[in-house]
Structure 1
Amino acid sequence: MNWDDLRIIAAVRDEGTYAGASARLRIDETTVGRRLSRIERALGLRLFEAADGVRKPTRQCEAVLAHVEAMAAHAAEIGRVGESLAGPVGRLRIASTNTVAEAVLSPRASDFLRANPGLTLQFLTSSENVKFSRWEADLAIRLRKPDKGDFAISRLGDVKLYYVEPVATEGEPMLCAYPDELGAIPEMQFLRTKTARARCVTDNVRVIRNLIRAHRAAGVLPEYVCADLLGDRRLRATLLQRRRDAWLLVQNHLKRDAATRLTIAWIRDCFRDIAQG
C-alpha cells in the first residue's frame, strides 16, 4: 500500500467529493479517481458509494480508514521524535458541550498543559454529538449514556442537579426548560412536575443560569454551573434526587496510547473535583 494513496481515501471521506479531495491534497482530480480505483482493485472491494452527489464510504472503507487514521497518528508521532519534550507527545481532540468545556475542563487545563509540554488539546464544543464513526474527535464527554459503538465507553461519575428559583417574585417565576429532544434527561423529567408553562427554551445552560441570576426565572442547573448561586439569599435551591451521569468515549485505537491515557486520567480528575466540590 502506498501511503500517499491511503491519504486520498481519508481526504475523499472528509470532503465528500473527488474535487474536494483534489483541492485539499493539491493533486489533479483525475489522479484522485485513478488512485482510488487502483486501491479498490488491490483490495478487491468498493470504497465509496455515490449518493446525492456525495461520496459516502462503504462499511469496508470505514474499516480501512480506521487503519489509515492510526497510520496518520503514528506518522505524526514519528515527525515529533526529535522534539525535546518531556513526557508523552500528542494532539487530542476532546468533544463536549460548551458548558462542560467552560466550567469543568478549561479551568483545570492550564495546569495540565503546563505539566505536559508535549500535549496539545483541541476542544470541540457543540450541543450536537460528534460522530465517532467519522473520526470527528478522539475523546468525547456526554451527559447521557451513548448507544454502543466501535469505541470504549466508561462512566466518569454523576453530577448534582439543583432546581433554583427566586424566593420572592410577582406571580409564578418564569420557567426555563430544555428542548423537546432532551425530554428524557432528569432535568426535564423534574420540570414536567411543574404547572407553570416554560417561557424560555434552550439547550444553553449558561442562558438559563443568567436568567435565574436575575431573580425572575427558575430552572434546573448542574452544580458546577450554579455553585455560586447556592449562597444567594434571594434564590432557593432544591437538590434533585436524580443526577446526570457523565460518560467518556474513547477511540479504540487510542486506548493504549500514552498521551491519551494521561488525558483520560486528567478528565477523570476534573469530574472527581466537581463531585467532591
Structure 2
Amino acid sequence: MNWDDLRIIAAVRDEGTYAGASARLRIDETTVGRRLGRIQRDLGVPLFEAVDGVRRPTRHCEKVLEHVGAIAGHVAEIGRIRESQPGPVGRLRIASTNSVAEELLAPRAEQFLRDNPGLTLQFLTSSENVKFSRWQADLAIRLRKPEKGDFMISKLAEVRLYFFEPAETVDAAPVVCAYPDELAAIPESQFLRARRLSAARCITDNVRVIQTLIRSHRAIGVLPEHNCAALLVDRSLRATLLDKRRDVWLLVQIHLRRDPATRLTIDWLRLCFRDLARR
C-alpha cells in the first residue's frame, strides 16, 4: 500500500465518482477503478457502494479515511521542512583526494554547514576517480582535466608546488619520492625528470606518504602547497617553488547546474581554493 493509492480513496470520497477522482488526480479513470479494486482486495472489505450514481464510502472506508487524513497532515508537514530552512536545502556528494578533503575542505566545512543548515555534504575520498556516468558523486575535484564526459567542467584553481630536499648534505643520498607512471604528465613528475631524479625508490600517489618521508629529512619530493604548511617552516628543509602550477578541475553533474544548493556549494569550493592562493 502506498500514498498514491491512499490518495485515490480520498479523491473518490470527495468527488463521488471515478471520473471526478480521475480529473482531480490527473490520471486515467480506468486506472482509478483498477487501483481502487486492488486496495479493496488487499483489505478484504468494500470501501464504496453506489447510491444513485454516486460512490458513497462504507464504514470501513470511513475508518481508512481517518488514517488517510492523518497521513496527509504528516506529508504536508514534511513538505514544509524545506520552507523552515533559511536558504537552499539538499544533500551533495563531493569526491576528491584525501589530501584535498583533509587539508582544504574539512577545515572550512564546519562554518559553511553552520551558515547553511539546510545543506548536507558527503565527502567521498579516494585516489581513484569516481564514475560520473554511474552517478557516484554530484561534484568532483580532479587534479587532471578529464578528456570528455557528460558533465560541466571548469578550472577550480592553480595550486603552487614545492620541491623539498634536506637543507644540509648527508652521507647517504636522500630517497627520491615520485608519482606512478600514469601520472607522468603532471608538473611534479616533469620537474623530477628535468632534475634527473627519475630513479625513485618510493613511488606513490599518496601525498601524505611523501610528506612523511620528507619530514624525516632523508627524502626529497614535490608536494602541492596545501600539504606544505609544516614543511615550509622546517629549517632542516630547503623548499623551492616550482615555475609550473597544478591545475585543479571541478566536475558537476549537468542536471544540477541550476540547483541553488549546488551553486552555493560550488561558490564555497572556489572560496576554499581562493583562500589557499592568498597564503
- TM-score normalised to structure 1 length: 0.70
Query: CA offset at residue 86 of structure 1?
Result: 1.4
Question: 1:188 aligned to 2:189?
Answer: yes
Task: Give the AA of the match of 1:186.
Answer: P
Question: 1:214 aligned to 2:180?
Answer: no
What SS is found at the alignment partner of 2:239?
strand
What SS is found at the alignment partner of 2:194?
coil
What SS is found at the alignment partner of 2:188?
helix
Query: CA offset at residue 92 of structure 1?
Result: 0.0
1:55-134 to structure 2, matched below 5 A, reads 81-83=80-82, 84-134=84-134
Query: CA offset at residue 171 of structure 1?
Result: 3.1
Query: CA offset at residue 95 of structure 1?
Result: 0.4
Q: Distance in 1 between matches of 2:277 and 2:79?
A: 37
Match of 1:202 in 2: 204
Match of 1:151 in 2: 151
Task: Give the AA of the match of 2:150.
Answer: D
1:13-28 to structure 2, matched below 5 A, reads none
Task: Give the AA of the match of 2:81.
Answer: G
Match of 1:261 in 2: 263
Count of aligned residue pairs for this structure pair:
203
Query: CA offset at residue 232 of structure 1?
Result: 1.2
Q: Distance in 2 between matches of 1:150 and 1:181?
A: 23
What SS is found at the alignment partner of 1:192?
helix
Task: Give the AA of the match of 2:255.
Answer: H
Q: Distance in 2 between matches of 1:241 and 1:159?
A: 11
Task: Give the AA of the match of 1:136.
Answer: Q
Match of 1:138 in 2: 138
1:174–1:118 CA distance, 2 compared to 1 (3 A): same
Q: Distance in 1 between matches of 2:196 and 2:247?
A: 27
Query: CA offset at residue 79 of structure 1?
Result: 5.2
Task: Give the AA of the match of 2:189.
Answer: M
Match of 1:236 in 2: 238
Query: CA offset at residue 192 of structure 1?
Result: 1.2
1:235–1:131 CA distance, 2 compared to 1 (3 A): same
Q: Distance in 2 between matches of 1:228 and 1:245?
A: 23
Q: Distance in 1 between matches of 2:149 and 2:172?
A: 48
Poorly superposed stretches of 4+, deviation over 3 Å: 78-81
Task: Give the AA of the match of 1:181.
Answer: E
Query: CA offset at residue 80 of structure 1?
Result: 5.2
Query: CA offset at residue 149 of structure 1?
Result: 1.4
1:273 is matched with which residue: 271, 275, 278? 275
Task: Give the AA of the match of 2:239.
Answer: A
Q: Distance in 2 between matches of 1:226 and 1:139?
A: 26
Consecutive unaligned residues of structure 1, counting only runs of 5 or more, are: 5-77
Deviates more, 1:252-261 or 1:189-198: 189-198
Match of 2:69 in 1: none
Q: Distance in 2 between matches of 1:106 and 1:96?
A: 12
Once superposed, what is the RMSD of the aligned Cα atoms?
1.9
Q: Deviations over 1:142-187 (max 9, x none)?
A: 0111122111111112000000011122232111011111111110
